[in-house]
Structure 1
């Protein structure tokens, strides 16, 4: 079996953005990537996160809210933070070959009616580009 690139997506509560990113990377390319997500202050997954993913027929099996501490000591090729707050909070306990900071507004606090689908689309576009670039190495 070929080596897979390990990617950990981090946001504050692991309720929306990082869950979307984990599911979308799995949906986009499981052959080359292993996707995980965690929060610096995890809560529970927002039901609207799962609805947005299911609307696109993206598998949500196995998604659960996790703390970054669950992954302490593990090595990731990439740790990708999805908000400024998590970028500032999570870097002490995580081992990464490279840290990327992507910023997306939190759909859970948005007043926009389609915030979750909008954020899903934005993250999906970024992940497709990430996969395209990283698979060219």
Structure 2
């Protein structure tokens, strides 16, 4: 039997969707097929790699890619992580459950290096909580 598909979508598939994919593999990978993509592909942000490594998750093997209509049309869940993806994502079939989890873009954080990393950690921790909540809801 094929696993249900979760597709995490964001603007550039560089931070938030990569973080979500990493946590989803950790918490949901035994029950779901996990993918992420963006409206554009900006490459994986090195700070996202670093803060995920701090959480014990290696996302360096993940790919930054644009939305694949084939995956989107066969997904069970399309989860947008930013307003841009929510507003500009291709239309999904009615049987795809669309959830929106809006998170600030940590790549736009300003300040010292510590302040920027703090913004990345906050988004990482918030995404992890949402993934755990999704798992606990028995989806």
- Fold in common (TM above 0.5): yes
Q: Does 1:91 align with 2:90?
A: yes
**Which segments of 5 or more consecutive residues in structure 1 lack a partner in the other structure?**
none
User: RMSD of aligned C-alpha atoms?
Assistant: 1.5
**Structure number having the greater helix percentage:** 2
Structure 1 stretches of 4+ with a deviation exceeding 6 A read: none
Q: Does 1:72 align with 2:69?
A: yes
**Which segments of 5 or more consecutive residues in structure 2 lack a partner in the other structure?**
none
State the 1:80 CA deviation: 0.2
SS at match of 1:38: strand
Mapped partners of 1:56, 1:36: distance in 2: 20
The total of aligned residue pairs comes to: 131
| 1:46-61 to 2 correspondences below 5 Å | 46-61=45-60
Match of 2:29 in 1: 30
- TM-score, reference length from structure 2: 0.87
Contact 1:3 1:32 in 2 (8 A): no
**Structure number having the greater strand percentage:** 1
Q: Does 1:118 align with 2:130?
A: no
